[in-house]
Amino acid sequence: MRDLLDRARAAAEDAYAPYSEYAVGAALQTADGSIYTGCNVENANYSNSLHAEEVALGAAVRDGHREFDRVAVSSAARDGVTPCGMCRQSFAEFCDDAFVVVCEGDADPVEYRLGELLPAAISGEMVSDG
């Protein structure tokens, strides 16, 4: 768990955050143990900004991964940031409620489950015709 959080911390160092000055990094572990990292990439039009978790998830999906074990998220402020609602929903597309989310804690990492962070995720069944 600490290794994954260290990878998220390192990814935050690559963030492009000139507007918020709030660098975030994520490290996503796939079911086969591969690790994908991402950092936030801001845009003057905030709605076009990319979140660290999205960058990591997009890279993993691009490479064919569809099953994930855990993600670690860290900000340069080391303030216990958790994924935002949009990123939580993105994980819910591929992960069940038991998916592990690791974040900074006061002394030790804090572990959450996706289901507790997003108890009523939108599912494919909710939007399909079938």
For 2-32, letters b (16+ CB in 10 Å) and e give eebbebbbebbeebebeeeeebbbbbbbbee
**pTM (2 d.p.):** 0.94
Question: What does the pLDDT look like over 41-82, one tens digit per residue?
Answer: 999 999 999 999 999 999 999 999 999 999 999 999 999 999
Three-state secondary structure call for residue 84: coil
104 an active-site residue? no
Q: Which residues contact 40 (CB under 8 A, 6 or more apart)?
A: 15, 16, 17, 22, 23, 24, 49, 50, 51, 52, 55
Catalytic residue among 42, 53, 54, 104: 53
What's the pLDDT at 130?
55
Confidence of residue 23 (pLDDT cuts 50, 70, 90): very high
Question: What does the pLDDT look like over 73-98, one tens digit per residue?
Answer: 999 999 999 999 999 999 999 999 99
